[in-house]
Structure 1
């Protein structure tokens, strides 16, 4: 009896279960069919695509770098007796940064000064003696010329007296020999004066060279001492300082580093495949937390490092005072290649749904699901870069789109 009841119960359960399963299946098919055609009318209104064409932008990251970096070293051995710097300090061109003291150099300068003084004094004495001797030779020549004139007069007188027989011919001949001898003496004095003048000029040149040599030695030492005063050669900042007051340093020893701040540039890394899109002079924009700076491409380093190449950008205007060396930046480089961007109006309830699908509307009154990725431009527009064959799309929330193709009559619903 019990077995009969169990069997009867099973038959009854099957009789009710089978219709239930069929009903569920029918309901599922009905709701599937219903959901296919249950897309709200507001999402079936085609949206017109607006397109814009702009220069393709290459994006990169990098740092701000100085165009000039100077490592200041000790010009000679010495001791730092003045130090006016600290790391991070801003400096101006011509500022005195440090000064060294070199005792040996000071002694050499003192010795050179004394030597120049002694040489100048001795040269003055020697030039005076030469002038005296020149005057003596000129005086001797003048005396000889005077005597020669007197001898000429006496010779003429004796010649007249000899013709009249007042004096003997022997005496006349003696006076003529005396005159000829005086002529020879005058010529000799003239030759002596000419030679002395040549020697005198050469001696003056030698004296001048001797003084000049001593002056050059002193000037060289003074210049060497002036280099012990270290001044800024440009506006900038102290980036590193390895010196301190009273420190004894050796020639060539590094003291501190200067970075120029007036002429900064940006070193930017971009993907290596971008090299064929880059040219010198292309417009660029440097992006920092403090602001944006217009720039241009100055140099392209095509050597590949870790999948990137380096592009150097120069600023189009004066360096802003808030821009710093080694500051991290982003950059946009506007290439010659053109890139089209497509925009559509954002639905008013865009934020009510997590994901939307874009359907391309074709000429056959069909909307075909695409794989387009969009992004928000602003509060009213969405943008994508893929080109479509038509000018209209449907933008439908993901929850309403179970099919890849939607057939409908566009009629006059186009904007």
Structure 2
């Protein structure tokens, strides 16, 4: 006879319920872990990354910019008058002396004005000499007149003195002495008047001659100007050097002030360097510079900083103090590095793609095995051309990825192979 046992069935139901509960908990835990699981780290080829190792030591801060070699002394020769270019005698690139004729110009009116000015000057010089002679004659006449009056006065004075004693003794009437005394006094007054007239005549002569000399100097300057304008129709270099430019053509009409030629001294060169406006704040006059002419490095120093910004850069003049290499010539393209300062005993690394001075970045740092990289925050300091100071976040010997990693911004880990 079979006996039905209800406790077995009940235990079976409990086991099933427990099993279902365990499965549910497992499903929930698996879902939770899957939900919180980080995305798989992407794999990146090592050859496609630019990496560098953090170092400690002296860091050289520099700024760099392109530039050109230019002559220290440049002379632009401009047209002084309206003229026509008849002939180009010397072409650019030739060596010229101060008296070398570069261009032949023509303007008949300038020549006529020069001749007229010369004739007017000669006429004025002749008039001045005639006036000078005439005034000298007048001065001599006045001196003679003054001398005659002075002689008459001296004679009258002596006669009055002699008659004074005779009148006192009663030898001659006193009225006669009084007349002689009066004549002496009158001649004395005339003497003073003639002396004053001589002084006035001298002042008049000096003033007239000064006015004539001023007019003569004006005419002489005008004649010199006209003569120079006529002479400059034969355009000369003015200085010894190399003819760099002749920006006119034969037959061309030129106006006063038009640049006709440029002459430079090739042996005395300087560099004009363009520094980005964001880096110019650290540049100062006197800082050492290395100028790369692509045929050698030339030492120099900053001599001038332009106050204006043009097209995002500032022009810096560099005085070259080293010997120029062969092939250095005006308008040669160069690269210049200006030394800002030397930082002793600092952590530094190559400048990352988006690293800015005194900023913060998140860089991928390689682990000890070198096959994984973890993103870490890094505090940056002062910058140079290719280097940047590390303030915090990295240690000496750490290897970091410096290339652009914006494609993996959502990942904090990379696999390197």
Same structural fold, with TM-score higher than 0.5 when normalized by the shorter chain: yes
The aligned counterpart of 1:210 is: 211
Quickly say closer, same or farther: Cα 1:260–1:385, change in 2 above 3 A.
Answer: same
Quickly say closer, same or farther: Cα 1:263–1:180, change in 2 above 3 A.
Answer: same
The superposition leaves residues 172-216 of structure 1 with CA deviations (integer Å, 9 ceiling, x where unpaired) of 144224313322332232122222222222123124313422441
Count how many residue pairs are aligned between Structure 1 and Structure 2.
312
1:368 alignment partner, one of 367, 370, 377: 370
C-alpha contact (below 8 Å) 2:77/2:237 kept by paired residues? no
Counterpart-to-counterpart distance in 1, 2:180 and 2:339:
106
Quickly say closer, same or farther: Cα 1:272–1:147, change in 2 above 3 A.
Answer: closer
C-alpha contact (below 8 Å) 1:112/1:217 kept by paired residues? no
Gaps (5+ residues) in structure 2?
1-52, 350-364, 374-386, 400-413
Counterpart-to-counterpart distance in 2, 1:93 and 1:317:
28
Counterpart-to-counterpart distance in 2, 1:304 and 1:136:
79
Q: Which stretch shifts more, 304-313 or 212-221?
A: 304-313
The answer to whether structure 1 residue 328 and structure 2 residue 336 are counterparts is: no
The aligned counterpart of 1:189 is: 190
Residue pairs, 1:8-407, within 5 angstroms: 53-67=58-72, 69-76=74-81, 85-91=90-96, 102-154=111-163, 156-157=165-166, 160=169, 162=170, 172-224=173-225, 225-226=227-228, 228-229=231-232, 236-242=241-247, 250-259=255-264, 261=266, 263-271=268-276, 273-300=278-305, 310-317=315-322, 322-336=327-341, 338=343, 362=368, 367-369=369-371, 389=395
- TM-score, normalised by the number of residues in structure 2: 0.58
Q: Which stretch shifts more, 93-102 or 292-301?
A: 93-102
Quickly say closer, same or farther: Cα 1:49–1:98, change in 2 above 3 A.
Answer: closer
TM-superposed CA distance for 1:247, in Å, is 8.3
C-alpha contact (below 8 Å) 1:116/1:211 kept by paired residues? no
C-alpha contact (below 8 Å) 2:67/2:333 kept by paired residues? yes
Quickly say closer, same or farther: Cα 1:317–1:390, change in 2 above 3 A.
Answer: closer
TM-superposed CA distance for 1:104, in Å, is 0.7
TM-superposed CA distance for 1:272, in Å, is 5.2
Quickly say closer, same or farther: Cα 1:340–1:285, change in 2 above 3 A.
Answer: farther
Counterpart-to-counterpart distance in 1, 2:138 and 2:310:
79
Counterpart-to-counterpart distance in 2, 1:155 and 1:49:
125
Counterpart-to-counterpart distance in 2, 1:313 and 1:214:
50
